[in-house]
Amino acid sequence: MDVLELDPRSPLKALLSQARTHIRSFYEAGRSSEQMDGAVCIDITALRLSNDSVDLIVSSDEGLVELICSLCRREQQPESEPRSLMEK
């Protein structure tokens, strides 16, 4: 399993690190993809991941969870009209 974790201080770090791939991330405005304590800075509204590269995205932030679910629903709808990432 390949996991993208959206909180570098997550208490699940030890468990998730057993995955085949475990990407720990954080977001800080104005920061490039620099690393901080092994975590990489990622803006999830502009993910640059190839299709099927992540099996699980883990976040405790309710707003992020809603955004990710919205993006997944949009991806499952073939030929859907383009929408803003923040649009529900």
Residue 8 pLDDT exceeds 60: yes
Residue 86 domain-assigned (yes or no): no
Q: How many domains does the chain have?
A: 1
DSSP at 44: G
Residue 31 pLDDT exceeds 90: no
Residue 6 pLDDT exceeds 60: yes
DSSP at 33: S
Residue 85 domain-assigned (yes or no): no
Rg over alpha carbons for the chain, rounded to the nearest Å, is 14
Contact 36, 26 (CB under 8 A): yes
Mean pLDDT of the residues in the chain: 76
Q: Which residues are CB-contacts of 88 (< 8 A; sequence separation ≥ 6)? A: 66, 70
Q: Which residue has the higher pLDDT, 81 or 9?
A: 9
Most confident range (mean pLDDT) of 4-8, 47-51, 58-62, 78-82 is 4-8
**Rounded mean pLDDT of 37-51?**
80
What is the model's pTM?
A: 0.65
Residue 84 domain-assigned (yes or no): no
